[in-house]
Structure 1
Amino acid sequence: MAIFARWFYSGDTEANVELARQFCGFALGAGKIPFAPHLLFPQFMGGVDPDQRELAMFLNRVLLAKCKALWAYVGHVSPGMRLEIGWARDLQAPVKYFDSDFKEVTP
């Protein structure tokens, strides 16, 4: 089952990218196929450019529609994450929340 793995990206991006990689590894170990566009898109899209940010969010919505669930880190929920969680709910996709120890939590 493919899941949309969502972790906070901005701020200390180096540390957040490492945690997102670990989170994806955790999901893989749980038998899921993690997809984390916030790890992919910054490789070739600028997050500061409003047009590229809008395009990235559009692509996130398209890709989320292909996933069976959204897994989100709750240490810091950004506005973009809130939007994606809302999209998952609109799609009636399960949303699971995890802390930094990858323990499922209730928001």
Structure 2
Amino acid sequence: MFKNIEGYPDPTAGTAMSRVLKEYKQRQRRRFAAKNRRKIYVVSKYAGDVATNKENAVRFCRYVIDRGNMPVASHLLYPQILNDSSPHEREMGLMFGLALLALCDEVWIFTENGEISSGMKREIEEATQLGIPVRQLDLEEI
């Protein structure tokens, strides 16, 4: 039971406070709910300078989040699980990524000087075939 400042039971104030908190929590859940955010598939370079490219991919995901969306970056996930040096496992990772891409609302391509790798090209082609909107951004834009 809610007690007032003097320590006496105060059911009216307790009920009011309970309702206010409940409404606040509901607003917060709606505001941050993943299902209300657009899913953006992040396409960026992975191969080559892997350390720098991973760092950039994280930055790109943050860019997506800061715009109220939910990033999907399969190239940050699957290379940690699968062996990117094995052609079979690399292909499996690409297939998993394309399956995730199909669930997204948009594809955002992040490039440096417009450079697109072969893996990125496959993702762009898949998005085009599925009719998913594609947006290209250069490092200088973010």
Q: TM-score, normalised by structure 2?
A: 0.70
- Give SS of 1:24's match: helix
* Closer/same/farther in 2, CA of residues 102 and 34 from structure 1, 3 Å limit: farther
| Structure 2 residue identity aligned to 1:46 | N
Find the partner of 1:50 among 87, 97, 102.
87
Find the partner of 2:139 among 81, 97, 100.
100
Question: Does the 8 Å contact 2:79/2:93 carry over to 1?
Answer: no
Q: Structure 1: where are the runs of 5+ without partners? A: none
| Structure 2 residue identity aligned to 1:90 | Q
| Structure 2 residue identity aligned to 1:77 | I
Q: Percent identity?
A: 34
| Structure 2 residue identity aligned to 1:6 | V
Q: Structure 2: where are the runs of 5+ without partners? A: 1-37
Q: TM-score, normalised by structure 1?
A: 0.91
Distance in 1 between residues matched to 2:85 and 2:95, nearest whole Å = 16
**Residues 10-56 of structure 1: CA distance to partner in whole angstroms, max 9, x if unpaired?**
11111111111011000000111001010111111111101101111
Deviation at 1:74, TM superposition (A): 2.3
Report how many residues are paired: 103
Distance in 1 between residues matched to 2:88 and 2:48, nearest whole Å = 21
- 1:21 paired residue number: 58
Write 1 or 2 for the structure with the bigger share of strand: 1
- Give SS of 1:101's match: helix
- 1:81 paired residue number: 120
Write 1 or 2 for the structure with the bigger share of helix: 2
Greater RCO, CA 8 A, separation 6+: 1
- Give SS of 1:71's match: strand
Question: Does the 8 Å contact 1:8/1:81 carry over to 2?
Answer: yes
Distance in 2 between residues matched to 1:74 and 1:92, nearest whole Å = 21
- 1:7 paired residue number: 44
Runs of 4+ off more than 4 Å: none
